[in-house]
Amino acid sequence: MRKRKPLDDKQVERWLAGAAEPTSAPSFAATLDAAYAAGPDGSAWSRARRRVEESLNARAPRVYYDRLASTPVGPLWVAMTDLGLAAVSYGGSESAFAGWLGRHLRASPVRSAGRTAVARRELREYLVGRRTAFSLPLDLTHVTAFQRRVLEAARDVPRGQVATYGEIGRRIGRPGAARAVGQALGSNPVPIVVPCHRVLASDGSLRGYSGRGGLQTKRRLLTLEGALLV
């Protein structure tokens, strides 16, 4: 069988316009197959991938974060969205915190000292005793409805006072849900600002704390606030 010659540009134009001879189609198909098989070079792939990433990043919501390097409870990571404070984290690496933000908030993490300045200042002032309350709005859109109710109830516990897990359950209309309340507080995304440290076991013991330092940090925060502990 005689090998067909590849179509030139003029033949391609005629074929696309429907004016080429039917016998030209196989040769044109072979030309396309060869072009697809060859593919673009590496630099073209890189440029295309970069344009796609830039386009996706431009459309994704942003979450801004930065580090509070030194506090009485150690370094903290802080994150803000356009709605408010979304995360406070005790230490850890920047990559781990940024990765958590991306997964849980489904947003593109951007480090920004400016966008987190108020949150970092209020946390620093609170932890050294120069502030008694936070003015920060909260972004709790990424937690479940149940956890949001638990966090809001914990936030209503006054400074210098404590509540039990069972009491929080009753306040949200879920008596007997002390264990679920404890789990919800254990994954509190904004500790200190939402004072999960003010919630104790039914016997008055500290029970637990997921932040760095565990019970020692919980006790330190309660002492700072003037809570009377047994």
115 is catalytic: no
User: Which three-class secondary structure state does DSSP give residue 85?
Assistant: strand
Residue pair 85/139 in contact (Cβ under 8 Å)? The answer is yes
Distance CA 59, CA 161 (A): 44
106, 116 Cβ separation under 8 angstroms = no
Q: Which of 196, 199, 200, 227 does the annotation list as catalytic? A: 196
Phi, psi of 173 (to 5 degrees): 80, 25
219: phi then psi, degrees, rounded to nearest 5: -65, -40
Residue with tokens 């002492």: 223
Task: Tell how strand 108-111 and strand 163-164 pair up.
Answer: unpaired
Q: Answer left, alpha or beta for residue 79, where phi above 0 means left and psi between -120 and 50 means alpha.
A: beta
Nearest to residue 220, comparing CAs of 76, 93, 89, 74? 74
Give catalytic residues, as residue numbers.
Answer: 196
